[in-house]
Homo-oligomer: A and B are copies of this chain.
């Protein structure tokens, strides 16, 4: 099992914005680590020697090109009109087990990862006000230039790369100390043995205690670039192996962890010690009840994503934070979140969007609102979710009309060619922070309205949205119980949106009853087609709600006037067929759907047992029936509502029809009916 390996050094690629102090930290580290173990790369730059800044090797553009052609560089890049190169000899230093420290560029990370065996990207950062002060101190740029520089979004580090963050937010000595603690922890390349262990939900790696003390937290990276954070438990190989001697460094991983890392026993795995959380001071202040600022939230969230807090700590922090978020702190949190992700830049004066808190069965207005807005000409790159707890998400329904798994490039193309798209958000703006948050808050059912406001709005900021309408339904089965509660949340959305520079209009809407007729992808497609075709039989409540929201979006255009004028304009665009044609264009540009579906022919009709009036319909129960029928996995399944609350009905009259995904679903639904589910649409005598 054991295998001979040459000692391998770690390549520390140092990146960070201007003013973060990369040169200062690298100089400081060079002095402190003046040993044979560390090599500080001298860069070749097409800039005259003697210029201020780092000590580089000057080269002419021609000389640089010649050396590049001769293979003298490990990697090269361009910035500010200059060529930069790192010498190829650094590879030999790594092979001898020496560690390399190089001032580099984010743009080279992906390529470097393939060329050096143990890459660690070290991101140097500082709060915006510190950056601004340091840049201003150089006296080379004016205030406007500095602001523009700070607002520039940086390339994110590609996934699957080991990274360390160093906050250089106080004096040079403190920054150098933090930087050194990162450099002193190179990557350990370990043979991964199989531990005959089952550690359940817990990510544990077993290692000799002499190698790492028990409790050490490590980020593991397999050859295929999978990353998993683990906690170390000490284990003595001699005592636990039968006939083999494991050579250090080794780790023993459970079969489940091997699968997570997509690796086999005997392969090597890179292990990087997770640094202590630099934001602990802010973390503690929050737990003591203090309000935090945006950069403090950002530091905590980045440490959380970097695995520097354990679940217990994160839980404590989240309980306190979700409880104490007022408007000011919600804005601070949203700003922090929007800074962590990369912002999409649109070449558009306005980018509009619509968001619904959901929970109202059938309320599928997005595929009507988007083509109306597109027909008017505003850019509306809509990213929608699939079903989480409901019977269908907008993405599930749209997937029957067009391709919805769009890349960021495809989204840009759609907006250019059709002014809009309706894409699945799964590939677009996934949030690691939300993953961490949901894992912790869901089991406890924490109240997270303000957290959601920050999450939703920060994602809109990074999506480049400038104008946004939000649907906040209220009612006994909606997420907000009362109009008052919904209005308070609307006010929070608008206030935080304004702070983030987005114009937000949030509307509290009646969520007490289903909207439209169909609940389930194929049935919803039928309703949407009817509305777009101006079919007189189309569900009028769906049409009206779509026109209301489209009107508010159109009213963002100062030329349109108020929301009522917007509504009139939206009605014209719908009734003239312009919206229908815009939808056809959107579908054409997104591409054909992967799957077509009609409402299932295997159906079951539920009739009134007595004369009377239709009572209140339990939204959760009706969505539950649609799921039992097979939606959304079976897009042809769902519930077709044939009555409305308050409508008089006679005994034997059809109340709703269930379209069933399969015979198995028919059985399940029949069992539910026997258990009383037929009363989901009650008839009051």
CB distance from A290 to the nearest CB of B (A): 11
Please determine whether B196 and A235 come into contact, CB atoms closer than 8 angstroms.
yes
Say which one of A9-17, A85-93, A207-215, A672-680 lies at the interface with B. A207-215
Our pick among B209, B233, B241, B289 for the contact of A447 (Cβ within 8 Å) is B289
Contact with B along A178-200 (1 / 0, CB 8 A): 00000000000000000011111
Q: What residues on B are CB-neighbors of A235 within 8 Å?
A: 196-198
A286-322, CB < 8 A from B: 287-289, 311-313, 315-316, 319-320
CA distance A196 to B200 in the complex (A): 20
Contact with B along A318-341 (1 / 0, CB 8 A): 011001000000000000000000
Please determine whether B233 and A214 come into contact, CB atoms closer than 8 angstroms.
no
CA distance A594 to B236 in the complex (A): 46
A192-240, CB < 8 A from B: 196-202, 204, 206, 209, 213-215, 233-236, 238-240
Please determine whether A233 and B315 come into contact, CB atoms closer than 8 angstroms.
no
A242 interfacial contact with B, CB 8 Å? yes
SS of A interface (majority): mixed
CA distance A288 to B445 in the complex (A): 7
Q: What residues on B are CB-neighbors of A312 within 8 Å?
A: 311-312, 315
A174 interfacial contact with B, CB 8 Å? no
Q: What residues on B are CB-neighbors of A242 within 8 Å?
A: 239, 241-242
CA distance A320 to B315 in the complex (A): 11
CA distance A447 to B447 in the complex (A): 22
Our pick among B204, B238, B284, B446 for the contact of A445 (Cβ within 8 Å) is B284
Our pick among B196, B233, B289 for the contact of A239 (Cβ within 8 Å) is B196
Please determine whether A215 and B233 come into contact, CB atoms closer than 8 angstroms.
no
Please determine whether B197 and A287 come into contact, CB atoms closer than 8 angstroms.
no
CB distance from A124 to the nearest CB of B (A): 29
Please determine whether A236 and B196 come into contact, CB atoms closer than 8 angstroms.
yes
Q: What residues on B are CB-neighbors of A447 within 8 Å?
A: 288-289
Please determine whether A234 and B444 come into contact, CB atoms closer than 8 angstroms.
no
Our pick among B215, B236, B445 for the contact of A287 (Cβ within 8 Å) is B445
Please determine whether B198 and A209 come into contact, CB atoms closer than 8 angstroms.
yes
Q: What residues on B are CB-neighbors of A288 within 8 Å?
A: 445-447
Q: What residues on B are CB-neighbors of A240 within 8 Å?
A: 196, 240-241
CB distance from A361 to the nearest CB of B (A): 24
Q: What residues on B are CB-neighbors of A287 within 8 Å?
A: 319, 444-446
CA distance A412 to B198 in the complex (A): 53
CA distance A319 to B198 in the complex (A): 31
How many chain-A residues does the 8 Å CB contact rule pick out?
38
Copies of this subunit: 2
Nearest residue, chain B, Cβ from A215: B200
Please determine whether A199 and B234 come into contact, CB atoms closer than 8 angstroms.
yes
A199, A215, A238: residue with the most chain B Cβ atoms closer than 10 Å: A199
Please determine whether B233 and A197 come into contact, CB atoms closer than 8 angstroms.
yes
CB distance from A457 to the nearest CB of B (A): 23
Contact with B along A436-480 (1 / 0, CB 8 A): 000000001111000000000000000000000000000000000
Nearest residue, chain B, Cβ from A318: B316
Please determine whether A197 and B445 come into contact, CB atoms closer than 8 angstroms.
no
CA distance A444 to B288 in the complex (A): 8
Contact with B along A603-614 (1 / 0, CB 8 A): 000000000000
Please determine whether B196 and A215 come into contact, CB atoms closer than 8 angstroms.
no
CA distance A502 to B202 in the complex (A): 47
CA distance A284 to B312 in the complex (A): 17
Please determine whether B445 and A233 come into contact, CB atoms closer than 8 angstroms.
no
Nearest residue, chain B, Cβ from A254: B234
Nearest residue, chain B, Cβ from A252: B240
Q: What residues on B are CB-neighbors of A233 within 8 Å?
A: 197-200, 202, 204
Q: What residues on B are CB-neighbors of A284 within 8 Å?
A: 444-445
CA distance A233 to B252 in the complex (A): 14
A200, A311, A313: residue with the most chain B Cβ atoms closer than 10 Å: A200
Nearest residue, chain B, Cβ from A238: B196
CA distance A234 to B254 in the complex (A): 10
Nearest residue, chain B, Cβ from A213: B200
Please determine whether B206 and A197 come into contact, CB atoms closer than 8 angstroms.
yes
CA distance A156 to B673 in the complex (A): 51
Our pick among B214, B238, B311 for the contact of A198 (Cβ within 8 Å) is B214
Contact with B along A530-570 (1 / 0, CB 8 A): 00000000000000000000000000000000000000000
Q: What residues on B are CB-neighbors of A198 within 8 Å?
A: 209, 213-214, 233-235
CB distance from A193 to the nearest CB of B (A): 11
CB distance from A502 to the nearest CB of B (A): 29
Contact with B along A121-136 (1 / 0, CB 8 A): 0000000000000000
CA distance A372 to B214 in the complex (A): 55
Q: What residues on B are CB-neighbors of A202 within 8 Å?
A: 215, 233
Contact with B along A229-270 (1 / 0, CB 8 A): 000011110111110000000000000000000000000000
CA distance A444 to B286 in the complex (A): 10
CB distance from A295 to the nearest CB of B (A): 22
CA distance A239 to B244 in the complex (A): 12
Q: What residues on B are CB-neighbors of A204 within 8 Å?
A: 233
CA distance A233 to B253 in the complex (A): 13
Given the known inter-chain contacts A288-B445, A319-B287, A445-B287, please indicate yes or no for A214 contacting B200, CB distance below 8 A. yes
CB distance from A399 to the nearest CB of B (A): 35
Our pick among B197, B234, B241 for the contact of A234 (Cβ within 8 Å) is B197
CA distance A312 to B288 in the complex (A): 18
Please determine whether B199 and A214 come into contact, CB atoms closer than 8 angstroms.
yes
CB distance from A297 to the nearest CB of B (A): 17
CB distance from A285 to the nearest CB of B (A): 9
CB distance from A385 to the nearest CB of B (A): 24
Q: What residues on B are CB-neighbors of A236 within 8 Å?
A: 196-197
Q: What residues on B are CB-neighbors of A197 within 8 Å?
A: 206, 233-236
Interface residues in chain A, defined as those with a beta carbon under 8 Å from any beta carbon in chain B:
196-202, 204, 206, 209, 213-215, 233-236, 238-242, 284, 287-289, 311-313, 315-316, 319-320, 323, 444-447
4 new A-B contacts, CB < 8 A, other than A288-B446, A288-B447, are: A197-B236, A242-B242, A287-B444, A312-B315
Can you list 9 A-B pairs, Cβ within 8 angstroms, ordered by A? A196-B239, A197-B206, A198-B213, A198-B235, A200-B214, A239-B242, A240-B241, A288-B446, A316-B319
Task: Give the 7 A-B residue pairs with the shortest CB-CB distance, closest first.
Answer: A198-B234, A196-B239, A200-B214, A200-B215, A196-B236, A198-B214, A240-B240
